[in-house]
Structure 1
Amino acid sequence: MLRVIDLRGTRPSESELLAAVPRASTDVSAALHVAQELIDDVRERGSAALVDQSERFDRVRPASVRVSADELAAAAEALDPDLRSAIEATIARVRAASAAQVPPPVTTELAPGAVIEQRWQPVARVGLYVPGGKTVYPSSVIMNVVPAQAAGVRSIALASPAQADHGGRVHPTIAAIAALLGVDEVYAMGGAGAIGAFAYGVPDLDLEPVQRVTGPGNVYVAAAKRAVAGVTGIDAEAGPTDIVVIADAAADAEFVAADLLSQAEHDELAASVLVTDSAEFAAEVDRRLETRAAATRHAERAVTALRGPQSAIVLVDDLAQAADFVNAFAPEHLEIQVADPDAVLGGIENAGAIFIGPYSPVSLGDYAAGSNHVLPTGGTARYASGLSASTYLRPQQVVRYDEAALRDVAPVIAALSAEEDFPAHGDAVTARFPAESR
């Protein structure tokens, strides 16, 4: 079922590994023109454009783009008790993990009277996007909102596409979770237009511009984020999901097959990759994966993803080579299912989230681990990280020098400003000590 990339007997360079990495064929830049048109339409026509775009892409015209407080409260009241309990448990876990991501203020005294304070200041307002598409993602409400709240963001707006199956309303579970989290600014809008609405505001909805937009979405959402990145902050240009599993012969083939399938059901472009030093184990996983894929509810979608060029079995000589391949791939999700996982973990540098051992599947992180499931895709984990409380924080340095401390460092400033031919920089210091500059 999965194609095979055989690296055994080779020691490829980093550039060669990067070339060998299987990837889905997606091009955000190709969608940029369409996304920009949709954004411009929202800027020109406001909520009328959002309603028209909803009809065009979501097959329904929302009765109201802004979701009423009564609708949010009713959705929360109608939640199935078991589902509500699961949601509340997930919120508690993600809240605890997110709180740990907020750095404490730090004060450094460089000399008597010379102090630098490091503080982490939240942005005041954010726009959080929850996709609709092939399915609905209520867990993404939690993953976006809770870290923002942990960071101290004061104003949170949430957008999700109107649902034809729900009379043009936001999916009721999304509305319910927003209510449980205390988010009362919710909009039935989707796609590139929603991102534009967040970035520029929509006056006739009283929707004010935001300072940062976060959340996953399709290629047009990713393109829209690129288009507005100079106007507002963004978390990332999210692409199709991916999973890499490093496994040896000691792993459970059924577990590995189940985990590879779990991401393949997301999307036809999802990537599922097994990296192993055992050809026999790889063949067993492939057999079990084919059986599971044929029986799953979303078989057509999953099989397309598994047979696509982005999915593969990668055969390596040893687990050190496996780590090298993973660092080149830079997966969104990495599972390590080997006899000695910590030995492999030490060689891993690039991954969005790492799941250790047979009882830490990616699905755990998608919902209830406490970690965040909004993660870097498409190899961007080589330089980017997943969504967290820090996404909404800006480090700021507060400088406090008294007269004696400034006098002490004045010669340093004078020497450097003279070297850079900025005499006024030096003068701004010596002006405070006129008697000493004569």
Structure 2
Amino acid sequence: MSSTANYSSDPNQNDQDTDRTSATVLAHHDVTDALQLRANLRYSALTDGFGYVYLAEGTGPDGTIYNRAYFGQDRDVRELVGNVILQYDAQFAAFDSSTLAGIEFNDGQSDVTAAFGAASPIDIANPVNGPDAVPATYLDETRDALTRSAFVQQNLSFDDRIIATVGLRRDWLELETTSRLTGQTAQADYAETSWRGALTYKVSDALSVYGSYVESVAPPSIGVEPERGSQYEVGVKYEPAGVNGIVSAAVFDLTKDNVSASVVQGDGTIRQQLIGAYRARGFEVEGKAELTDSLEVIAGYSYIDTEVERGTARGVDVTGDTFGTVPTHTASVWVNYTQPAGEVLNAQTFGGGVRYVGDYFYGIPNEGKSDAALLVDASYGYALEEDAEVTVNVSNLFDEQHVVGAGTANYYNPGRSIAVTLRQSW
């Protein structure tokens, strides 16, 4: 950063806090040798909020005096997710069969408040902050979303060479939004069916090829049809002889309809807006290998070409634009080294890697673009005993900072973060 650059925001009004809590219960019961029952339940709660002052767009500066604005949002999200799955395995001559059937539910509620307004102007030649902004609340609502699903999936394997999978799913979506500003409540119910299928052929013990088709349905905002997606994929998996590793490659074609995105409105507020339809095509390559008993390498690369096939944002036709925040190129390399237990220390694992994120447009319309970034991560694990381990993961080790998004202001990537995990197995 240039030594002449000025900080034009207000540290007294810039803040971001996040508090996340979750609890999960997993249950598994073998009813018979062929029939299994699984049930999972997770509750999570998230409270987060942010606020910031930024240079306002629109009117130009008066000499060195710039107008500023304030934007902030608070969320309180609760979610209960669960499923029950039955799996029946059978064998008929040269066929192996596995049948899955189950139900799922997702009950979520969130309270969202957003505020926007003018902040005190600032003289960039002599930056001194004025009185705190008094923004007006333009959004204050409760959102309820209940999804109930039933699904069935059939897997068939012939002579351990040809593997076929087909699945069918039905989702029932119930949405309700209540505005505390107007007292009005809006409701919507949807029922959607989707299916998936895949076919794999083992050319040899080392080489497999596959093709798949998958449909998806995502809960919408009220007044908008559910976002629907479909993806075709063709790939290959190869396990080289003499190496404990695997290399996989795939090409894909993904389309989505009724896509929504966060769009900055003319008055400076940010709202979800229906864009239309977009398409993503590309390929990805990934490899994993244990070079020695102690050394493991994982590497990957992906290329994605996105395009808005039909859409309008802020009254502007964005057909042909690139979809926002989706880099064309991404790549990563990760290395793990395990030090066996010695006379003094137990087993240790040292990890390190590099992530490359290519440039991308910040949003739709394509008005601003990010720089490519290179980030370094690291980890350390120590075996406390046979079934217990403590792990330290450091993301963005060198605290590299760059702009990753722009709306009412520029947004930066997360700085260095450290997570400590204690894992116990029984």
Given the two structures, how large is their TM-score scaled by the length of structure 2? 0.22
In terms of fraction of residues, the more helix-rich structure is 1
In terms of fraction of residues, the more strand-rich structure is 2
Given the two structures, how large is their TM-score scaled by the length of structure 1? 0.22
